[in-house]
Structure 1
């Protein structure tokens, strides 16, 4: 079907033409036949790059033209930004000027201001938060797009996605639902849950060849073979083939250390392939410079920059946000030929390569033990193979050591079906939080009303109406016991319950904070950090990788008087382990707020920039929440302590620098330099001459002028 035959408005047809779209892909054409533009609910299951976003764009235009809003849900911040930019480029440049916004984080923001926009792209958690805050503009939403709807099966993110969909169906009157999914076997089951038509397609704009490399050749699933030109080790030979003639390669490793090791080990292959031209090398040197400048104190950044200069890179969650952005940008610009990445890249931004290589299928985690790559994960990796406009074919290659392993890989992964998606809502930790949110938001004012909404979930559709009875009963008992709800006259949230729901924290996080500060008028900043680091909401943030002996030495240096007393190891080993993990992260954060240089923090605690940033962000939020909860229960002095600690976590400074670091371009280093020069308050800045400010190390004339202007405007 040609785009002028779709019935889309002329401006949108022209906007799509400028992007090279003349004919619809099969899944796109099928969605129109199934009533996309008549407001029908659809769930589209097709490979990566098969045009699912355009289906959302076509549905969005219909809804926007009718004066309604679009809510587009994604699992990741990076995807939120990417999708918002896609919508903005289509609707903003040539269209009626529809306003698009990407939102994530800041869960205590009621979000009414967001209602001024037409298309809202939000993470699952942000959308849930908006429902909890009862944002009035949600009633104007006419289309809900759920990207990566197969994430329903994710143990951590799935329950939030599932309950958010159920809440939106309860909040919004008859919205059109559009689910977008990777290829999964039970898409019809998900479509049935949403009263939608399933569209299943294996179409790919760039054909995919899947094969297994072994002993100097690649055997493909269609029976063809590819003789490798290099006689080196198998991985190097396969990667070398992928890099020929302007190709780019993604190598997926199952651990961070492996990704780094592979990126370093394959530098010689990049060099030998001739993939780097003079202009590429110049561009890579510029990217390396930007990496170095962004983290001057990080040995991690230096290591990454040296690799990038040679045409290779690693990519994992330990990288800082800017580093990840630069690596992805260099690859998209086709100046970086090789990335060795962990699976997070496959689940994130759209980043196709000519060849995808998966050298190993087994991983080990200290928390989860040994596991094998799932077929779903493998298919997700495959989705990155084949660059539209640049490649006639995309290749996905597994590596085998024997004939038997080759046959196993062909059968299990290449010919195998992805695993079914199962709801993860049965987890009580998630359920108690969502039950509280339903009561606090007024969506459920009785047990009957609560069950009616929960009965709209995928979990109940699959396992039956009584499947969650026990978990619901336990959650209600727990919430009542801790004074977050009342059951005297139906279901009502208390002031504490309302606040905990709005703060978007686990009810047990609030319970732990209240219990651990009982009877205290003050506590040391380190002890305050220990408390928040021992809460359920911090349990999945692992930044420090300290050995026990190093931990003991640090405690001796600091002095045990600043710490919370540890639980008895013999009587409660689980609580003792929780104490140690919390202490490690608390020490990292304490070093940060005590102005220890970042380089020293990275080296002392063996922490990586991305993990460090994630830890700071989460701790800041829990500290802010602690301040709010403690104020509500009447612990004013400890609440104020956490209020100050929140600001210190945001800026990484001691308390005396807080007024200075709130000025533009003044961070922890420049703030301390001003302090040393005797400029210790906003009034001191106002009184200082421009020349005096400019002489402070790290400031100079430009920043001095900016600070002066900011102070004058206060």
Structure 2
């Protein structure tokens, strides 16, 4: 017999409204390779993605069916989306014209009947039921008619369909195959005989698929129809040269460290060439151990603890590219938006040339959430909170991932954000029970004793103390004596400064006395210096006085990159500093200003010799320095606590980056020799704190509610088990065997509160959250704040409530009280903010701000935040906001960083209010849409009428938008009609050239 085969697999479609799949191409390539390796004289066609157009697939299938003879056996396999009207969705299928752009199953059935082929085996790994994330198109407001697949089958016509007419064809997260294709491969490669016979193998295929579906927690039963007189026999499928060529990455075991070796494993040439240019010596010892000893290129998970600049990020990059090459997605989770934005820019430049699609999700309006939900990306960068919200709201996001990299893993110990990191990890661990097991890589520069953290994660630890750039750490006192640990580990003392060089400059000794001569000396030796300060004002002032002292010229490129509209009180200070070769970095700067400072400092010839910064710069932003100076050892404005050793090590680790310095130096400042010795022992010689969960008994209600939002339903007696699945619960139950029984009573009381509040329902002994409970549980709020929000939202008369009033109501949350809001308490001038609220929002909001335990000063803070936000979204310039809300420049001054903290915190928690309102008032879509608009206004600080300006690419700054608003331009049509001179006056020459390049270059537009 002559065997002819057509294998079609489509992950990606032209229509952006169609979700991408991850395993359809893999299905087609695998079956094609296995049949090629196993069936002699096979004639096969492989059509995948852009090659699988309607014309190409129709020509291949109908042409083969028409030309077949009575001796031919035809195998036709399709993996991809099915359409609701019973068609196969092809690469160029459009949701606007399904009948005209899909391959009709009715036409296919007619062709099967007409062909002269002896046997036709049709494998359909798709469905027509209309459920996501199965392999079916989602088409709004269209009937989901079901094709009667029985029409294809008959004598000599065998149909193997993924599921029944009303079920979903699922993809298997582990292998990346559809469940049906996985079962076909398992059954046809795993037989003991040398041959595979249809229909004898059908039962095994159906059983394998059903078992795997149950493991995922779903129901899927393949359908086998038709018969062949005498049976249909194929050789047992085997993995040979064609399979190895199709899936080269499956064989990655050990490499010597040269990047060219990766080409044989399917890594793109563009990526390998880029790595060779960046790392001329190949993989370093840490990265080579990760590959050869720990199997990161074989999909194995790993906890990597290694110093800053040791190359641990490259471990995640290697695994990420491997995941993408294998047809899966990779997600990097990071603590701050600034780092996400930096990584997006860096990775887009690095991997865009290889065709990889890099996206970000940080909670901004410009995020690529739609691409994530639709699977239209390869590498994604997420803040912790955004990833958790997406994974809870759209569980199929997890099933598409081949890799999750959690960077800055030490954040699990953070008192405020540790719960988010721990819930993410618990979610990933729990997903394993459903067969969803992306590779997990956790990276950290500073972790102490692990306390079973690695056992909870069930992954090995790659621990390294080696830094490619050695680091000297020490403490200098006011005599200039520097006690330090040298690169060989020995303790030494030397005079870093002479005593006479440190002179008191003001009435009392100050840090400035030590910083000025020390920085002068370092800069004179050609060093770049970062100075960490514990307050925004201190960083700003430090950069200002050093600019006058170090004797350097201007940082021209950074000055030229600064914006000149909607400036802040800090903006002029920054220009003054840059004129003297210094800069500061804090939230008081506009985003464009911070980015200009970062680029200028990274550039060896950028002219910024000294950067004074708040401590957030330590968390991963790429700012290499020769020397790092820590001027303080404690936080201010938070809780006044001392730095942890891990926080100190993170800041110290910014010194001496690979490719910039041969040796880095970290200097902690002390007043006396006694303090010098104490700080040396605590910070330089100390080990980072042990890994501990941020879980506490006091927060148990919040933890339980968050965990319940991750499961569909659970018996009440199983709820303690959810807590044990967290690291905190795991550690507590190990330390105290009676811990679970001890908390059972508290959990029962908590469940009763949930039921009473309408957040949960109980059926028998099974508890599940209501829609409202899901909204609160998946929110950013504690349990008590969630109840407070529900109470507030339930009491709203939406018909009489302007959506903007929700901005004021959110200020009563405990989470908003945690946001530093400067007020002047020496007199009653701040009491005027209460009147502001009444004028802007009305009496109702003012009365609400007085509830929930507010004292007089707390009322002032709430009112001040609410008033600032009202003006911010109305487009009031920043400098006006700063002047208006600063009651006293020395106490209670409002700066841009305060405004942004208030706006960002409100926007974050307003998303929770949005979900709660959606659950309470599902019949009020207009109000919810208005809240969406309000979220966008909060992000851009613009009135609603001007929001079209925020969607322009390249993105306009707020100042540029306000300049356009001032001349009456708020729509895109008005912008297009604006003459060149007025446009350039509003947006500046650089942006004008980007917006109208032909005009700017002298060519008539």
Q: CA deviation at 1:486?
A: 1.0
Q: 1:550 aligns with which of 822, 829, 833?
A: 829
Does the Cα contact within 8 Å between 1:190 and 1:458 map onto a contact in 2?
yes
Q: CA deviation at 1:531?
A: 0.9
TM-score by length of 1: 0.84
Counterpart of 1:264 in structure 2 is 544
Counterpart of 1:49 in structure 2 is 309
Counterpart of 2:569 in structure 1 is 299
Q: Deviations over 1:98-148 (max 9, x none)?
A: 333222216995765452222222221122112211342421322222111
1:357 aligns with 2:629: yes
Does the Cα contact within 8 Å between 1:289 and 1:305 map onto a contact in 2?
no
CA 403–706 in structure 1, closer or farther in 2 if over 3 Å, else same: closer
1:130 aligns with 2:390: yes
User: Which gives a bigger RCO, structure 1 or 2 (Cα 8 Å, sep 6+)?
Assistant: 1
Does the Cα contact within 8 Å between 2:529 and 2:627 map onto a contact in 1?
yes
- Give the stretch that moved more between structures: 211-220 or 48-57: 211-220
CA 218–603 in structure 1, closer or farther in 2 if over 3 Å, else same: same
Q: 2:596 aligns with which of 313, 326, 331?
A: 326
The number of aligned residues is 685
1:416 aligns with 2:695: no
Counterpart of 2:659 in structure 1 is 389
Distance in 2 between residues matched to 1:639 and 1:58, nearest whole Å: 42
Q: CA deviation at 1:245?
A: 3.1
Distance in 2 between residues matched to 1:655 and 1:69, nearest whole Å: 36
CA 674–453 in structure 1, closer or farther in 2 if over 3 Å, else same: same
Q: CA deviation at 1:69?
A: 2.5
Counterpart of 2:755 in structure 1 is 480
1:530 aligns with 2:817: no
Q: Deviations over 1:568-588 (max 9, x none)?
A: 99x975565543322110011
Q: 1:216 aligns with which of 458, 475, 480?
A: 480
Counterpart of 2:716 in structure 1 is 447
Does the Cα contact within 8 Å between 2:391 and 2:397 map onto a contact in 1?
no
Counterpart of 1:200 in structure 2 is 463
Does the Cα contact within 8 Å between 1:385 and 1:396 map onto a contact in 2?
yes
1:180 aligns with 2:450: no
CA 448–655 in structure 1, closer or farther in 2 if over 3 Å, else same: same
Q: CA deviation at 1:287?
A: 2.1
Q: CA deviation at 1:443?
A: 4.6
Distance in 1 between residues matched to 2:968 and 2:534, nearest whole Å: 46
Q: CA deviation at 1:394?
A: 0.8
Q: Structure 1, unaligned stretches of length 5 or more? A: 708-714
Q: Deviations over 1:191-250 (max 9, x none)?
A: 222111112211111111122223134232232524436714332222223213321111
Counterpart of 2:615 in structure 1 is 343
Q: CA deviation at 1:264?
A: 2.0
Distance in 1 between residues matched to 2:380 and 2:357, nearest whole Å: 9
1:516 aligns with 2:792: yes
Q: CA deviation at 1:349?
A: 0.5
Does the Cα contact within 8 Å between 2:259 and 2:272 map onto a contact in 1?
no
Counterpart of 2:561 in structure 1 is 290
Counterpart of 1:613 in structure 2 is 900
Distance in 2 between residues matched to 1:55 and 1:208, nearest whole Å: 22
Distance in 1 between residues matched to 2:830 and 2:697, nearest whole Å: 33
Does the Cα contact within 8 Å between 1:162 and 1:458 map onto a contact in 2?
yes
Does the Cα contact within 8 Å between 2:823 and 2:830 map onto a contact in 1?
no
Q: Secondary structure at the match of 2:900?
A: helix
- Give the stretch that moved more between structures: 660-669 or 579-588: 660-669
Distance in 1 between residues matched to 2:777 and 2:299, nearest whole Å: 33
Q: CA deviation at 1:289?
A: 4.4
CA 101–340 in structure 1, closer or farther in 2 if over 3 Å, else same: same
1:244 aligns with 2:524: yes
- Give the stretch that moved more between structures: 102-111 or 53-62: 102-111
Q: 2:430 aligns with which of 160, 170, 174?
A: 170
CA 512–21 in structure 1, closer or farther in 2 if over 3 Å, else same: same
Distance in 2 between residues matched to 1:588 and 1:568, nearest whole Å: 15
CA 310–125 in structure 1, closer or farther in 2 if over 3 Å, else same: same
Does the Cα contact within 8 Å between 1:145 and 1:179 map onto a contact in 2?
yes
Q: CA deviation at 1:620?
A: 3.9
Q: 1:19 aligns with which of 278, 294, 297?
A: 278
Does the Cα contact within 8 Å between 1:239 and 1:357 map onto a contact in 2?
no
CA 110–512 in structure 1, closer or farther in 2 if over 3 Å, else same: farther
CA 383–99 in structure 1, closer or farther in 2 if over 3 Å, else same: same
1:667 aligns with 2:961: yes
Distance in 1 between residues matched to 2:913 and 2:304, nearest whole Å: 42
Q: Secondary structure at the match of 1:552?
A: helix
Counterpart of 1:493 in structure 2 is 769
- Give the stretch that moved more between structures: 7-16 or 242-251: 7-16
**Matches for 1:673-692 after TM superposition, within 5 Å:** 673-674=967-968
Structure holding more helix per residue:
1
Does the Cα contact within 8 Å between 2:323 and 2:330 map onto a contact in 1?
yes
Q: Deviations over 1:68-110 (max 9, x none)?
A: 32222211222223334454455443x5x33332222169957
Q: Secondary structure at the match of 1:302?
A: helix
Does the Cα contact within 8 Å between 1:74 and 1:146 map onto a contact in 2?
yes
CA 299–399 in structure 1, closer or farther in 2 if over 3 Å, else same: closer
Does the Cα contact within 8 Å between 1:84 and 1:102 map onto a contact in 2?
yes
Distance in 2 between residues matched to 1:427 and 1:329, nearest whole Å: 45
Does the Cα contact within 8 Å between 1:314 and 1:340 map onto a contact in 2?
yes
Does the Cα contact within 8 Å between 2:481 and 2:497 map onto a contact in 1?
yes
Q: Deviations over 1:531-550 (max 9, x none)?
A: 11112443333355454623
Q: Deviations over 1:350-407 (max 9, x none)?
A: 2121111112224443x52x32222222111110111322322111112233222222
Counterpart of 2:325 in structure 1 is 65
Q: Which has the larger radius of gyration?
A: 2
Q: Secondary structure at the match of 2:537?
A: helix
Q: Deviations over 1:44-77 (max 9, x none)?
A: 1111010001111222343333333222221122
Q: CA deviation at 1:699?
A: 8.5
CA 245–509 in structure 1, closer or farther in 2 if over 3 Å, else same: same
CA 169–320 in structure 1, closer or farther in 2 if over 3 Å, else same: same
